[in-house]
Structure 1
Amino acid sequence: MAAADELAFHEFEEATNLLAQTPNETTTRSDQLGPKGHVAVAMDSGGSYGAEDEVEESDKTELLQEEKPQPGFWTFGYYQSFFDVDTSQVLDRIKGSLLPRPGHNFVRHRLRNRPDLYGPFWICATLAFVLAITGNLTLVLAQRRDPSIHYSPQFHKVTVASITIYCYAWLVPLALWGFLRWRKGVRERMGLYTFLETVCVYGYSLFVFIPTVVLWLIPVPWLQWLFGALALALSAAGLVFTLWPVVREDTRLAAGVLLSVVVLLHTLLAMGCKFYFFQPLPPEPMASPHQATSQPPATMLPPTLPRSVAA
């Protein structure tokens, strides 16, 4: 019987006694051995149950938020999420538009399925004001070089620039999104960006023209054209690299025509801004000194006699 007692597991007996004394506490087994080779059993208080309850409550809250219905597009709350971005995200997306790389999709790597309207809105507004201001400054500088040029503030350029930029940044993406949606019905393997993703891509692609417009104030024509060509190449390349993963599943003819039209419209926008906002006014015709001093010859009237002589 002594041998049987030596083979008994005294550790389990100790654990059973501890559980009987504190039935509401949890036990955790430790691999460390006690001083007599016994297994140590740690007793925990009931504090862990509160933590588990908090985790469960947070999970329930997240589920309720996901099940909450989305507001309609006619409400302010629907558009509030598209302006919920921080400065780092906007700067990261601007950096991606300035440094396009083949195989680096702007929508997947920069937007990450979270397009915003904050960046495109302010980029278009800044570009419109910069175009109007630099266009007026160009005339001021031209008047200093040539006094025959008459300058007057042209406030209508602000309106023209705003309408042009915002229409381009909204109507062209709308037409492009509609065309890609139609082609997806024909070619089911084609991908498709959402309308807001397309607007976001076009909005950020216009950022490179803001510093370029400022550099157009340099009175060196070949430098102006060099900066304009570089900005156009970077902006158009970003659009092509972003659209290529979508249109490559289409036919070669459709993909080539679509990308060519995208680049052509971008080129027309840049050329139109260059020729309209940065062309000085022609000098006003000035009257020659001979024309200014010449007067019509005076009509000689016959001399009149005094009344007494006439009588």
Structure 2
Amino acid sequence: MFQQLFHFHYMLIHAGGDEQQATSNWKGYFSISSYKEYFNVDTDVVLDRIKSSFYPIHGDFFGKINNNPDLYGMVWISTSLIFVIAALGNCATYLMHKRSDNSILWSFDVNYLNVAACAVYGYAVLTPAAFYFLLQYLGSTASLVRFWCMWGYSLFIFIPTAFLLLIPVEFLRWVIILIAGSASASFVALNLKSYIQGNDLTLLLVTSLVLQFALALFIKIWFFP
């Protein structure tokens, strides 16, 4: 009887320990201190990863960041993109008003900044997280930090694109955003492909393409109408 009680007590201790460890691991996702190491990255490394995002056909971005993924690029790029599209979007509407009717009073629309922040931060954080948890559920060994890193750098192309969208030729602006959207979407899909090889998850690749392209169209339609 004493042996059975001892065995039961032992099981309770280990069960509690496993539960505590699982809870600790889960809380780690929401702890800021867990991500400090991902901001310790050299400028040269960030610039090299930015250059890689302009060459989507290689599809080897995860190989480059395998030992040292960073979140600095994602945060910096997302924040820069927010201010760039908000400022240049206002500038584009100002130029449009000046061309159409100089008598119309124009004012800076601060709502552009709010919309840009919600859209860009929401997309940069939630989309990679959604793909990560979905692939985890499907049995893939995905990495949330690597996904955040890759998706973050995929947004950089929209920063120089925003400057080009100030060109007052609508047809040319559509060509520019379609090229940028295609390049960014290809970068995401081709790199994501390495996580689904051997699995029939083509729908995920198509979804990543569509979402990235939809973001490009959103930037054009909302901020540079």
Inter-partner Cα distance in structure 1 for 2:133 and 2:151: 15
What is the aligned counterpart of 1:129 among 55, 76, 83? 83
RMSD: 1.8
Question: Per-residue CA shift, 1:57-94, capped at 9, x if unaligned?
Answer: xxxxxxxxxxxxxxx84665432211000101101111
SS in 2 for 1:151: coil
Q: Which residue does the alignment assign to 2:190?
A: 241
Partner AA of 1:85 in structure 2: V
Contact 1:115 1:200 in 2 (8 A): yes
Contact 1:115 1:197 in 2 (8 A): yes
Inter-partner Cα distance in structure 2 for 1:235 and 1:250: 23
Q: Which residue does the alignment assign to 1:265?
A: 211
Counterparts in 2 of 1:79 and 1:197: CA distance versus 1, 3 Å: same
Question: Per-residue CA shift, 1:290-309, capped at 9, x if unaligned?
Answer: xxxxxxxxxxxxxxxxxxxx
1:222 aligns with 2:177: no
In the TM superposition, 1:177-216 aligns within 5 A as 177-184=132-139, 191-216=140-165
Deviation at 1:150, TM superposition (A): 3.9
Figure out how many residues of one structure are paired with residues of the other and give that number: 198
1:163 aligns with 2:118: yes
Deviation at 1:192, TM superposition (A): 2.4
Question: Per-residue CA shift, 1:143-185, capped at 9, x if unaligned?
Answer: 221225442210111111011100000111111001111111x
1:151 aligns with 2:94: no
Partner AA of 2:138 in structure 1: R
Higher normalized helix content (fraction of residues):
2
Counterparts in 2 of 1:160 and 1:226: CA distance versus 1, 3 Å: same
SS in 1 for 2:108: coil
Inter-partner Cα distance in structure 2 for 1:193 and 1:180: 6
Contact 1:123 1:204 in 2 (8 A): yes
Contact 1:132 1:158 in 2 (8 A): yes
SS in 2 for 1:98: coil
Higher normalized strand content (fraction of residues):
1
Q: TM-score, normalised by structure 2?
A: 0.83
Q: Which residue does the alignment assign to 1:85?
A: 41
Q: Which residue does the alignment assign to 2:3?
A: none
Contact 2:180 2:216 in 1 (8 A): no
Q: TM-score, normalised by structure 1?
A: 0.60
Q: Which residue does the alignment assign to 1:96?
A: 52
Question: Per-residue CA shift, 1:72-128, capped at 9, x if unaligned?
Answer: 8466543221100010110111111111234x42111x2123211111001000101
Partner AA of 1:172 in structure 2: T
Contact 1:107 1:113 in 2 (8 A): no
Q: Which residue does the alignment assign to 2:130?
A: 175
Question: Per-residue CA shift, 1:232-288, capped at 9, x if unaligned?
Answer: 11111111111112112112xxx2211111111112111111111112xxxxxxxxx
Unaligned runs of 5+ residues in structure 1 are 1-71, 185-190, 280-311
Partner AA of 2:220 in structure 1: K
Partner AA of 1:235 in structure 2: S
Contact 2:154 2:187 in 1 (8 A): yes
1:114 aligns with 2:68: yes
Q: Which runs of 4+ in 1 moved over 3 A?
A: 72-77
